Amino acid sequence: MSNRLSETVLNTKEPDRNYESAYSNCLYVLGFILLSSVNAHKACSKNANLWKSIQYQLKLVETTEGRCDCDTKELHGHKMVGFLAKSSKDQTNVKSGSTVIFDKVVINTGSGYDASTGQFVAPYEGLYYFSWTTLTYNSKYFKTQLMHNGNIIAANYPDGRGLSSGKVSATQSVLLHLAVKDKVRIRTDGTGQHMYGGIWCTFNGFKI
């Protein structure tokens, strides 16, 4: 009688163990499904953002027809302006107060520099950086000034007098806050001067 009772008790406990095991397995499966759903949602979100970025880039290409308008560049709302010009020939005996013409344009983003007049006109208000370099022969000199509208801002003065041979150059740079249509140019200061032509004599500026 005692053996039968023990066997009955054991048989009644066995289903409980099976139930607990099945319950644990269900929790594991549900947890796996939930985790997979979260990861899938994150992946879908990333893919959606990537697709939006691709659509935006395609729209830009469609709008510009695949072309880059380098004269009206804009980077994150910042209007890009910059130029570099050089003198293609020597300039001798230039009258005092005359504009130095840097006629060979290398770059002119924003179209602010006019090679025919040697003058830069600001297309936008802002802070600008300008620099110019001139070179002269021995026994010669070339004194210039940077003009902002009608005001002298800075001067540049390579002086080769006293040299028996060779050449001498000088560079000057300035920062200016310009309003729209403000004018900047390089002018001579004195007569009987001589500036060497070529890549050694340049005038450049850009909006910061």
Amino acid at 81: V
In CATH terms, 70-207 corresponds, of 3.30.470.10, 2.40.10.10, 1.20.1250.20, 2.60.120.40, to: 2.60.120.40
Asked if residue 130 lies in contact with residue 176, where contact means CB atoms within 8 angstroms, the answer is: yes
pLDDT: which is higher, 18 or 165: 165
Please state the pTM of the whole predicted model: 0.64
pLDDT exceeds cutoff 60 at 52: yes
Give the residue extent of every domain in the chain: 1-67, 70-207
pLDDT exceeds cutoff 70 at 112: yes
Question: Which residues, other chains included, contact 132 with Cβ-Cβ below 8 Å and sequence gap of 6+?
Answer: 102, 144, 146, 156, 171, 172, 173, 186, 202, 203, 204
**So what's the pLDDT on residue 12?**
47
